[in-house]
Amino acid sequence: MDMENLIGKKKFSLGQNASTILFLLLFIALFGAILSFATPNFLTAYNVGVIFKQMSFFGVAALGQTLVLIIGGIDLSIGSTACLSGIPFALCMTKTGMHPLLAVVICVIAGALMGYINGLFITKLKLHPFIVTLAASNIGYGFVLVISEGYTISGITGKVLTIGQGMLGPIPVPTVIFIVFVAILTYILKCTPFGRELFAIGGNAAASRLVGINVESRTRLVYLLSGAFAAFAGIMVACRYNSGQPTIGETWVMNSITAAVIGGTSMAGGIGTVVGTLVGTLLMQLLSNAIVMLNISQYWEQVMIGSVVLLAVVIDSLRTMGRTKSLRNK
């Protein structure tokens, strides 16, 4: 058995999820058209900018979640990692006078280290990712409260705010950053041995070992990347609001999983695309924005998110059963 046969080119081809992405784009266009009639302020330049800017923050974190899902794992700690990076970043910027670039690098490395530690527990002790990352999430938020004492740390200033507030022409800088990350990861997943190995691990970890893939090493690296993406997303949010807030990323876990699964990534592993995650992220933010624009109570947002999560899981389950049935018939 060679790696090409194990992976199956269709598993990491963007074309496999093209129909899902096309359907989502058509739904977004239709939903947007309906909203534009329901509220005249929906298609204003300001509101469209808000949608793209807000989607970029948890979207960056969702990219790391997508990589984890592709290898058949899950990361419930991205919210706490983002928060545990945003708070120290705010402290570095307001209390120490540290150079912004150095503060960003240190906090991203710290987030990557938190992700790597998750990977160590998963690969060395053979613990389930759900338990490890759930525990890490609670520990992370606990440290956030210890460090911040529950208060917002305000006063971030300087050019570093550009990564959360800046504009590149008519396009928000956070959106540009998000799209650049999507492009890089798309290339990695489609065109590099590392990307193909991730799909192989998600498809069949045991068989991947037989063809020489270091499953444990790749798993640790993926969780490291997830932590790094979450940390950078937390820094972006801190720059967006000029402060580190102990509530950063509270809803990101469910939102990131939902965006990835809706976009075509399978929770069973082995299949996914970051382009689909981008479109899924846009849909999630569009729904959130619609609640605000239509003056619907914010309490209904949790109902909506829960319903979309359930729908996404059902769709993923049906897709998985369909693929399994198709393979059995061959």
Q: Please indicate, yes or no, if residue 34 is contained in any of the structural domains.
A: no
Residue 11 pLDDT grade (very low, low, confident, very high; cuts 50, 70, 90) = very low
- CATH code at position 301: 1.10.3470
- Phi then psi for residue 154, to 5 deg, are -100, 165
Does a structural domain hold residue 35?
no
Tell whether 53 is covered by a domain: yes
Is the pLDDT at 128 greater than 60, yes or no? yes
146: containing domain: 3-25+45-329
Answer yes or no: is pLDDT of 43 > 80.
yes
**Best-predicted range by mean pLDDT (11-20, 84-93, 318-327):** 84-93
What sign for the dihedral angle of Cα 45, 39, 236, 153? positive
Burial of 318 (0-12, 13-18, 19+ CB in 10 A): exposed
Residue among 90, 118, 269, 259 nearest 178 (CA): 259
In a domain, 174, yes or no: yes
**Between these two residues, 325 and 256, which has the higher pLDDT value?**
256
In a domain, 209, yes or no: yes
Which of 215, 281, 251 is closest to 60 using CA atoms? Answer: 281
Q: Is 289 inside a domain boundary? A: yes
Task: Please count the structural domains in the chain.
Answer: 1
In a domain, 39, yes or no: no
DSSP state of 243: E
CA pair distance 171, 52, nearest whole angstrom: 8
The kind and range of the H/E element at 200 are helix 193-203
CA atoms lying within 13 Å on the CB side of residue 297: 4
191, 76 in Cβ contact below 8 A? no
How far apart are alpha carbons 218 and 308 in whole angstroms? 31
| Residue 76 domain flag | yes
How many residues in total does the chain contain? Answer: 330
